Structure 1
Amino acid sequence: MSRTDDQATAVKAVIERLIENVSSNTASILDDTYHDDMTVIMLSPEDEAIVLDKQQMTETVTKTLEQNNGAIGTWARFHHVSVNGDTAHVLLSRRNELTGPNQQITLGIDLVNQDNRWQITREVIVTRPVS
Structure 2
Amino acid sequence: MTSNGNPASQVREAIEHLIESGSTYNLEELERLYHRDLKIFIVDEDGNAQVLDRARNMEMFQQRRDAGLDPLNRWAEFRHIEAKDEAGFVIVTRKMELRGRPETFVLAIHLVREDERWQVVQETIFVRPQATGG
TM-score category, normalised to shorter length: 0.7 to 0.9
**Matched-pair contact (CA < 8 Å) for 1:64–1:98:** no
What residue number does 1:27 align with? 27
Shift of residue 130, structure 1, vs aligned partner: 2.0
What residue number does 1:118 align with? 118
What residue number does 1:101 align with? 101
Shift of residue 91, structure 1, vs aligned partner: 0.2
- The answer for unaligned runs of 5 or more in structure 1 is none
Distance in 2 of aligned mates of 1:27 and 1:63: 11
Distance in 1 of aligned mates of 2:8 and 2:129: 29
TM-score, scaled relative to structure 2: 0.86
Change over 3 Å in CA distance of 1:25–1:66 after alignment to 2: same
TM-score, scaled relative to structure 1: 0.88
Kindly indicate whether residue 75 of structure 2 is the aligned counterpart of residue 75 of structure 1: yes
- The answer for unaligned runs of 5 or more in structure 2 is none
Amino acid of the residue matched to residue 18 of structure 1?
L
Q: What count of residue pairs does the alignment treat as equivalent?
A: 128
What residue number does 1:60 align with? 60
Shift of residue 24, structure 1, vs aligned partner: 2.6
SS in 1 for 2:121: strand
Pairwise CA RMSD: 1.8
What residue number does 1:85 align with? 85
Shift of residue 100, structure 1, vs aligned partner: 3.7
Change over 3 Å in CA distance of 1:68–1:128 after alignment to 2: farther
Amino acid of the residue matched to residue 72 of structure 1?
L
Change over 3 Å in CA distance of 1:82–1:99 after alignment to 2: farther
- Share of identical aligned residues, percent? 30
Of 74-83 and 56-65, deviating more is: 56-65
**Matched-pair contact (CA < 8 Å) for 1:18–1:33:** yes
Of 43-52 and 116-125, deviating more is: 43-52
SS in 2 for 1:95: strand
